């Protein structure tokens, strides 16, 4: 009987360790997205401190992770939002706009995409299109609305 219990415990421990190892591989879309989001947050902080070169490197790393996540899930508007965001920060407005618009096809009321696309429109002197994004955000009473509204008023 002791032998059976020992074998059972050994099998249980083996299964638990295998499960733990497979959970942290970092290869799935969710882990890639989370890692990219952390890089974007760090890059934003660096950008506020005028450390633009370091911020751009982090945006680039985030973009690489987001592309891998996008390969696994092409219907995730959050991934599309951050792909657009990282490209916009790198100055690639045309490609950024494509990702934002693809995200809006999936989720037209996505707060982040509407705000960031509005910012892109302001940056590219298309204020009327930015106002359209603001109109979409109008009912949300959210910071995305307030930030885009403030940017539009400044321009």
Tens of pLDDT, residue by residue over 73-120, are 999 999 999 999 999 999 999 999 999 999 999 999 999 999 999 999
Burial 80-89 (b: 16+ CB within 10 A, else e): bbbbbbbbbb
Residue ranges covered by each domain of the chain: 26-154
| 76: three-class secondary structure by DSSP | coil
Q: Using CB atoms within 10 A of its CB, is residue 144 exposed (0-12), middle (13-18) or buried (19+)?
A: buried
Structure tokens at 27: 């290869």
Inter-helix orientation angle 143-154/127-137, to 10°? 160
Kindly report the pTM of this predicted structure. Answer: 0.81
Superfamily of domain 26-154: Tetratricopeptide repeat domain (1.25.40.10)
């Amino acid at each position: 009987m002791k032998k059976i219990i020992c074998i059972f415990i050994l099998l249980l421990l083996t299964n638990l360790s295998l499960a733990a190892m497979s959970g942290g591989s970092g290869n799935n879309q969710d882990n890639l997205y989370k890692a990219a989001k952390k890089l974007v947050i760090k890059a934003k902080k660096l950008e506020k401190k005028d450390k633009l070169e370091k911020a751009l490197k982090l945006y680039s790393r985030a973009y690489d992770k987001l592309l891998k996540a996008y390969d696994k899930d092409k219907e995730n508007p959050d991934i599309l939002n951050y792909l657009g965001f990282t490209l916009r920060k790198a100055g690639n407005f045309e490609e950024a706009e494509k990702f934002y618009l693809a995200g809006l096809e999936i989720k037209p009321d996505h707060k982040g995409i509407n705000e960031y696309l509005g910012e892109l429109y302001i940056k590219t002197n298309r204020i009327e299109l930015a106002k359209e994004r603001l109109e979409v955000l109008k009912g949300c009473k959210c910071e995305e609305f307030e930030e885009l509204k403030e940017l539009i008023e400044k321009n």
